[in-house]
Amino acid sequence: MSHRSIDPSRLLGRIHELGEIGRDADGKLTRLAGSETERLGRDRLVSWLEDAGLEVAVDRIGNIFGIWNAGGVGEKPVMIGSHIDTVINAGIYDGCFGVLSGLEVIQTLKSQGFEPTRPIVVTAFTNEEGVRYAPDMMGSLVYSGGLDAATALEAVGTDGTVLGDELARIGYAGSHAPGFMTPHAYVELHIEQGPVLEREGVPVGAVQDLQGISWQKVTIDGDANHAGTTPISMRRDAGYAAARVITFLRDRAAASNTPTVATVGCIAFEPNAVNVIPSRATFTVDLRDPDEDRLRQEETALAAFLEQLAADEKVGISVERLARFEPVKFDPAIVRLIEAAASDRGLGCKRMTSGAGHDAQMIARIAPSAMIFVPSRGGISHNPKEFTADTDLVAGANILLDVVCGLATGELPK
């Protein structure tokens, strides 16, 4: 059985070429949204889109579109997207792999005389990472109507710049209204950024949902007494209370039969001295679950634990909500297309949950959407060590090719 295939060397060459843009003298790759280095990356992408004969459009929030209007002009397009902005000291695959694979798929279909019944569009969304400007996934959030463009453009960066000014400066303050094309369907190909596919030896992930996220900041107040002179029974030890929360969260998640994950990633003690009992402990709680009811249950269980802990340890506890996103269910029909494509090509495929946030979760508000994952070595991402084998990259792009062919020639399967 012979299959269509994208051009592996063209795709891999572009991934590595884009991966060199924004590398500093120390070899570190950083292309923050709206920055001068991101401008260079955007310019390169646009030149590739034009070389492929695509119509290039930019909307007000700086999202870039490469539109192939071959068939069904006026029909809702199949949209393939991701992002090309990066974190600080990034790897080369996160986001870029999805955008460049989208371009590769369209270029392959064009060159092979494929006749879609609707347009096919590749999109690079602005500021997915959210490192310089908050919130993250901003371009897709604005595109799907979840945030007003004018408000987003006023975002002040960590460096004091204003996003709208920076987009104008680098030439990417476009004129199209965000949301100007409503997708027929949206597909995003991405590295997993987690260890599951690699550990299980499965090359393709059919992503059926995306975890809801609950971020809280917990502050515990006790008394800063002398570590030598204060008997254990007289202590109000904020650090000990914080440790109780950390073990509670982890032990609860580990004991459950659910995909719930709980993480305490940040912590600080005050006054943070060897011989002083901590008067204050501040830490973050990151709770995630693909099921909204279960995520709420976890939040409730944490709140109950904190209330009991405050009474037991005679400490003050306050909680601040930092972020909250409901879980996203992707489109089952597109998930089945991904599974079918993998099966046709003899590739193992696993239905899975995305633990990270992606532009697809925003576009899912306005169009049937799903994601394809490929393995990440060691589960490492947002790091120069981020790596996916070339065979896995090419296999993922070919699955995307098949799925786009299906979406661009018929109605979505029910």
* By the rule CB under 8 A, 269 interacts with a copy of itself: yes
Interface size with a copy of itself, residues (CB under 8 A) = 61
Answer for the pair 131, 32: CB distance below 8 angstroms, yes or no: yes
Smallest Cα–Cα separation from 117: which of 410, 414, 334?
A: 410
Stretch that binds a copy of itself, among 11-19, 150-158, 163-171, 195-203 (CB under 8 A): 195-203
Q: C-alpha angle 292/210/82, rounded to 5°?
A: 145
Q: Cβ 267 to a copy of itself, closest distance in Å?
A: 5
Q: Segment 329-368, which members bind a copy of itself (CB under 8 A)?
A: 354-357
Q: Does 273 bind a copy of itself (CB under 8 A)?
A: yes
Rounded to the nearest 10°, the torsion over CA 406, 407, 410, 414 is 100
DSSP per position, 216-238:
EEEEEE----BTTTS-GGG---H
Based on CB atoms, which residue is closest to a copy of itself, 177 or 322? 322
Residue 196 interacting with a copy of itself (CB under 8 A): yes
Residue 129 annotated as binding site: yes
Between 186 and 240, CB nearer to a copy of itself: 240
Q: Interface with a copy of itself includes 134 (CB under 8 A)?
A: no
Q: Which of 12, 56, 261, 347 binds a copy of itself (CB under 8 A)?
A: 261
Pick from 6, 289, 33, 39: which is nearest to 156 by CA?
Answer: 33
End-to-end CA distance of the chain: 26
HSE-up of 358 (CA within 13 Å, CB side)?
Answer: 35
CB of 213 to a copy of itself, least distance (A): 7
* 201 counts as binding a copy of itself under rule CB under 8 A: no
Q: Please, which residues have CB within 8 angstroms of residue 235's CB and are 6 or more apart in sequence?
A: 222, 223, 225, 277
Q: Which of 30, 230, 297, 409 binds a copy of itself (CB under 8 A)?
A: 230
Residues linked to residue 208 through DSSP beta bridges, in sequence order:
none
Whole-number minimum distance, CB 375 to a copy of itself, in Å?
Answer: 12
Q: How far is the CB of 258 from a copy of itself (least distance, A)?
A: 10
* Torsion (CA) 221, 226, 232, 237 in degrees, nearest 10: 20
Using CB under 8 A as the binding rule, whether residue 386 contacts a copy of itself is answered as no
CA dist list (Å): 37 to 41, 166, 384: 7, 12, 17
For the bound state, the minimum distance from the C-beta of residue 370 to a copy of itself, rounded and expressed in Å, comes to: 17
CB 253 within 8 A of CB 304: no
382 binds a copy of itself (CB under 8 A): yes
Q: What 3-state DSSP class applies to 105? A: helix
Q: Which residue in 12, 40, 56, 246 binds a copy of itself (CB under 8 A)? A: 246
d(CA 351, CA 340): 12
The nearest distance, CB 383 to a copy of itself, in angstroms, is 8
- Interface with a copy of itself in residues 274-333 (CB under 8 A): 274-278, 284, 286, 288, 322
Asked whether residue 83 is marked as a ligand-binding residue, the answer is yes
- Residues in contact with a copy of itself by CB under 8 A are 192-196, 199, 211, 213, 215, 224-234, 237, 239-240, 242-244, 246-247, 250, 253-254, 259, 261-269, 272-278, 284, 286, 288, 322, 354-357, 379-383
